[in-house]
Amino acid sequence: MDQSKINRRGFLGTVGAAATGLALAAPTTAQAQDANSASSAAGSNPDVLTRALPRTGEKVTALGLGTFLTFDRKPGDRRDDLRQVFERYIAAGGRVVDTSPLYGSAEVSVGQFMGEFSGSDELFLANKIWATGEYLGDESHAEESFRQSRLRTWRDTINLMQCHSITNAPVVIPLMKAWQQEGLIRHVGVTHHESAAQDQLTAIVERGDVDFVQTNYSIFNRDAERRLLPAAADKGVSVLINLPLEKARLMKVVEGHSLPDFAQEFGATSWAQFFLKWVMAHPAVTSVLCGTSNPDHMSDNVQAMAGPLPDERMRRRMVAHMETIPGFASIASMPWYPGKEKMYSGLIREAQANASRRLQ
């Protein structure tokens, strides 16, 4: 059978362990009912901040759900907290989810949680291809990765496929364009999470090769403002942002510091909202991806989608305030998720630990 013609309902229930090698528990009736209620509530929320995609006018929410590390669990580990994170994001009106087959079991969890929502077709799913093939120009590994992603996420058509960290971009981007023409994906994108790659991303954007670009950008690391964000705005390319909280390093730096009084002028009631709203306010930014495994943190994060955003004068004031806080200038030298080294102990962390032991 032609894989491109498989109907989603035709392979629901065959995904599970056969497609992924990971055993998944089916949602209970109560879980499904709760999920459907949350989806209905989200669809009726007109106050959520959205952005229109420059090339199509389609609207997406200004806050997206990231899943790197935070949604990675070992087979058999409970994922109740992750389901709550997902449900709270959806209930608040969030509609953008970003994942990757490189993120351990995150893609599997995303697929199951989406499958528990009757309104899952409303979600803008951003996924990725990380494949080199056995030789230059070999598309087979990318094709297989895409096939697995469609199975794991229960999607016939994926909203956005991205060339992950510019891996094999000369092969992967044309391949994704072919999938786009065939109706298997709607948008083509490219990603990276390091500033050193932004010149390459800019060149791809300026050539008109993609509809989306994903890059790192935060109140601390503003390198994307130099070339990449202006190029995206000029070419009508949508922008997804990763590392808006610098993998919790920003939150660590402000521990013990009170939120400045002027934050109330743009509706921020927490440091997380302060940092997220700063990024959202850049006119070239489409959606800001923020991941967590803590449901309460998600309840806080989603409030950044409500109320006003800081203007450019206020954004400069926010930066100036952060520059007075000890440790802000040295965030780049801090480890990711400081003080949380034992968190996110999924497949990725397990593999990293095994590799370290072999080198001892």
- Would you give the DSSP letter of residue 307? S
Structural domain contains residue 29: yes
Structural domain contains residue 305: no
Q: Is 324 exposed, middle or buried (0-12, 13-18, 19+ CB in 10 A)?
A: exposed
- Would you give the DSSP letter of residue 85? H
- Give Cα separations from 12 to 8, 120, 154 (angstroms): 6, 14, 7
Which distant-in-sequence residues (6+ apart) come within 8 Å of 193 by Cβ?
165, 215, 216, 242, 243
Give strand pairing partners of 238.
212
Range of the domain at 43: 3-247+282-298
Structural domain contains residue 350: no
Give me the number of domains the chain comprises. 1
Predicted pLDDT at 354: 86
Q: How many residues does the chain have?
A: 360
Question: Looking at residue 168, which CATH number applies to its domain?
Answer: 3.20.20.100
Query: Helix crossing, 29-43 with 80-91: angle to 10°?
Result: 30
122 pLDDT above the threshold of 90: yes
pLDDT, tens digit, 9 for 90 and up, residues 237-261: 999 999 999 999 999 999 999 999 9
Predicted pLDDT at 286: 98
Structural domain contains residue 121: yes
- Would you give the DSSP letter of residue 293? S
Predicted pLDDT at 14: 32
Rg, C-alpha atoms of the chain: 20
pLDDT, tens digit, 9 for 90 and up, residues 149-208: 999 999 999 999 999 999 999 999 999 999 999 999 999 999 999 999 999 999 999 999
Structural domain contains residue 133: yes
Structural domain contains residue 115: yes
- Would you give the DSSP letter of residue 333? G
Structural domain contains residue 336: no
Structural domain contains residue 162: yes
168 φ/ψ angles, rounded to the nearest 5 degrees: 60, 35
pLDDT-based confidence at 109, cuts 50/70/90? very high
Model's pTM, two decimal places? 0.87
